[in-house]
Amino acid sequence: MSDALYALFELVRIDESARAIDEKLRKIPQAVESERNAIRRLEALVNQQRKALEEAERLLKEQEQEVAARNEALGKAKSRSGRAQTLKEFEASEREIEYARKALREAENHRDALRERVQKMREALSKAEEELKKSQNELAKRESALSSEIDSLRKQYEHITNGRDKWLSMIPQEVLRIYERVSKARVPAMVEIKNGACSACQMEIPPPRFLQAQRREVVQCPNCHRFVYLREALERLEPFEDDGE
Ligand SMILES: [Zn+2]
């Protein structure tokens, strides 16, 4: 006797497990997606900081040149003062020196402020780079852990679906066609009859179908169209061990 009901029961069990594994496999890439996005944002931030630092360094360089120019101007004013021949010339050159000193001081103050700013930006950047590196390393670790999880799930999947063809071959084509349809819409596609009713939708199984179920025939719930079975009928015999096919 080729027990289609038992084969269908096993097929549903296999497909349910395979579906659960599939679901897990689909969710794995999503698990690290938010971390990946966070790292992308961090990278963008670090790049911004890097560019801002480059700009600040360029300004500092310009200001250092400005200080050098002011220094040179002061030197020239001093040497002109040494060449003054009248009191008026002398006073004028003294004012020029005073002005040049003031300009130099201002330029130096500005340069010092820029230096301090550049220093702070360098420190902030190196801190941000460190954080980025840390997050990248953590993500790499997570990804490698997930990839071994994926491997193990794929192996489980193969192991579980291994005997599927054997059961398939024991189920009539028309039942398989119904199964294809039902399993797309209903999870699980086969449920137990409990207290005379479909345990998924609670619809009572009409007496003729109940009798069929008792005879281990393939029966569907009239309401949700799932396959239904009676546990005691299914467990009454171990069909394939004893049959010898
Ligand atoms: Zn039902």
Where does residue 137 rank: exposed (0-12), middle (13-18), buried (19+ CB within 10 A)? exposed
CB 161 within 8 A of CB 14: yes
Asked if residue 3 belongs to a domain, the reply is no
Distance from Cα 114 to the centre of ligand 1, integer Å: 77
Q: Which CATH number is 133's domain given? A: 1.10.287.1490
pLDDT tens per residue across span 23-75: 999 988 888 888 899 999 999 999 999 999 999 999 999 999 999 999 999 99
Distance from Cα 137 to the centre of ligand 1, integer Å: 51
User: Tokens 């084969």 map to which residue?
Assistant: 7
Is the pTM higher than 0.75? no
CA distance 229 to 132: 57
Where does residue 179 rank: exposed (0-12), middle (13-18), buried (19+ CB within 10 A)? buried
Boundary (domain end) residue, out of 139, 161, 183: 161
Distance from Cα 227 to the centre of ligand 1, integer Å: 8
When divided into structural domains, the chain yields a total of 2
Boundary (domain end) residue, out of 161, 185, 209: 161
Boundary (domain end) residue, out of 107, 130, 161: 161
Mean pLDDT of 2-15: 90
pLDDT tens per residue across span 161-194: 998 999 999 999 999 999 999 999 998 999 999 9
Question: 206 is in which domain, residue-wise?
Answer: 172-243
